[in-house]
């Protein structure tokens, strides 16, 4: 792979922060086929992109989860010692309300292996999970519950992490119906 000049590149002047108000998720064990990581890429751009689509096993599907605007964040943390660097991707969000669906989701997710597809404000997607490692629940960074005052916001916050040697953009699709 050859390096190339990396100039300021903000198409249409766009560079808004945050993530959109939906994240997509599924059980890690339900994935039949993962998009592939770059293999001998020719350019630095190819070295930052997954190829292909995430395909679910028959009878399983991906799901969407609503998050309150300006509460979702996708963060890429660099970790490790010299010659041992890698990344931990963090997804944090807040879901309003304490309805049975979100409680049931947290009950199931807290000790299970998941994957997430996160979309930033420009529509670029990131896949948290690969054939080797899932995304896992870490806790509630902004708490869970009713809040104290009547002006407080009731709901569930959550943080999921995914450890990965490299970070990539996911350009594939997210089907929200069962695979057959």
Partner 1 sequence: MWQNYFKIIGIVPGRVVVPGKGTIDFSKENVPVELCKQLFDSGFPYLELTDLGKEVLYNQPKISKSKSDRKSKGSAESHDAL
Per rule CB under 8 A, is residue 160 in the interface with partner 1? no
- Interatomic CA distance for residues 26 and 66, integer angstroms: 14
Per rule CB under 8 A, is residue 24 in the interface with partner 1? yes
Residue 104: which H helix or E strand, with range? helix 100-109
Query: φ and ψ at 34, to 5 degrees?
Result: -100, 150
- Interatomic CA distance for residues 165 and 162, integer angstroms: 10
- State which residue, 15 or 124, has the beta carbon closest to partner 1: 124
If DSSP codes are grouped into helix, strand and coil, which group holds residue 11?
A: helix
Q: Which of 41, 96, 141, 172 binds partner 1 (CB under 8 A)?
A: 172
Span interacting with partner 1, options 79-87, 108-116, 117-125, 143-151, rule CB under 8 A: 117-125
Q: Are strands 136-139 and 144-145 parallel, antiparallel or unpaired?
A: unpaired
Q: Which of 65, 109, 118, 125 binds partner 1 (CB under 8 A)?
A: 125
Per rule CB under 8 A, is residue 50 in the interface with partner 1? no
Span interacting with partner 1, options 41-49, 83-91, 137-145, 166-174, rule CB under 8 A: 166-174
């Amino acid at each position: 792979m050859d390096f190339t000049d990396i100039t300021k590149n903000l198409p249409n002047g766009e560079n808004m922060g945050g993530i959109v108000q939906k994240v997509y998720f599924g059980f890690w064990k339900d994935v039949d086929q993962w998009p592939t990581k770059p293999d001998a890429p020719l350019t630095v751009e190819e070295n930052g992109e997954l190829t292909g689509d995430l395909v679910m096993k028959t009878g399983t599907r991906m799901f969407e989860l609503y998050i309150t605007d300006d509460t979702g964040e996708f963060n890429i943390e660099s970790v490790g010692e010299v010659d041992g660097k890698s990344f931990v991707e963090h997804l944090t969000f807040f879901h309003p309300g304490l309805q049975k669906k979100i409680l049931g989701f947290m009950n199931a997710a807290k000790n299970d292996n998941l994957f997430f597809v996160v979309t930033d404000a420009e529509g670029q997607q990131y896949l948290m999970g690969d054939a080797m490692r899932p995304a896992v629940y870490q806790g509630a960074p902004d708490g869970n519950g009713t809040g104290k005052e009547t002006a407080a916001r009731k709901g569930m916050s959550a943080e999921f992490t995914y450890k990965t040697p490299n970070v990539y953009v996911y350009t594939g699709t997210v089907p929200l119906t069962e695979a057959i």
